[in-house]
Amino acid sequence: QVQLVQSGAEVKKPGASVKVSCKASGYTFTSYGISWVRQAPGQGLEWMGWISAYNGNTNYAQKLQGRVTMTTDTSTSTAYMELRSLRSDDTAVYYCARDKEYFDYWGQGTLVTVSS
Amino acid sequence: SYELTQPPSVSVSPGQTARITCSGDALPKKYAYWYQQKSGQAPVLVIYEDSKRPSGIPERFSGSSSGTMATLTISGAQVEDEADYYCYSTDSSGKEVFGGGTKLTVL
């Protein structure tokens, strides 16, 4: 069965970086893209960007351009999302989701807390 | 930047029909998708390509789209349908966007 398993919770200081992983199983990794979606406490869903697991092409949300980098490792079927220059308003649950026109499978979410 | 607009909340009694709307300028040319999110859980796709229902989603969930508005309809809403619902689509440049979400209360 399709599974996306994300890395564990992180606590970071303002200005630091965080890298969240998303290990896929149960399907051909390179046949789908991976999108990253975050949700601040009590807020709605925010699409952060997408990466093709086939060729590494990316498409980032405009507001995160320059701070976010998405990569994949096809040898381990793992996607990564790195967010730099963290601020308090980056505190959120970060989800990866399998993306082929829409998100049909989601990871369990990774809580990233940014606090001094 | 592109926006999808949803009502913040919708409330119905059990057995009634709930309708949640989503408006966006690109919807005449782009599909709408709907996600259900229950407290503390990851979202679940309930409608894709405006009106298609994934396997395992109850028949009471349906979707439609006309002009700049997409609608999620829950016919005979159940208490277990109480959740936040998000529409999702893309703009003309391929940027993906969620609506602000609608809290559905069934009581």
Least Cα separation, residue B39 to chain A (angstroms): 10
Asked whether the predicted pLDDT for residue B1 surpasses 90, the reply is: no
pLDDT one-digit tens code per residue, A97-110: 999 888 999 999 99
B34 touches chain A (CB under 8 A): no
How many CA atoms lie less than 13 Å away from B100 in the CB half-sphere? Answer: 8
Whose tokens are 């700049």? That residue is: B68
- For residue B92, what pLDDT is reported? 81
Distance, CA of A103 to CA of A82 (rounded, Å): 20
Which residues touch A87 (CB under 8 Å, ≥6 apart)? A14, A114
- For residue B22, what pLDDT is reported? 98
Least Cα separation, residue A25 to chain B (angstroms): 18
pLDDT one-digit tens code per residue, A64-102: 999 999 999 999 999 999 999 999 999 999 999 999 888
- For residue A32, what pLDDT is reported? 97
Q: Which residues of A touch B96 (CB under 8 A)?
A: 35, 47, 50, 61
Asked whether the predicted pLDDT for residue B95 surpasses 90, the reply is: no
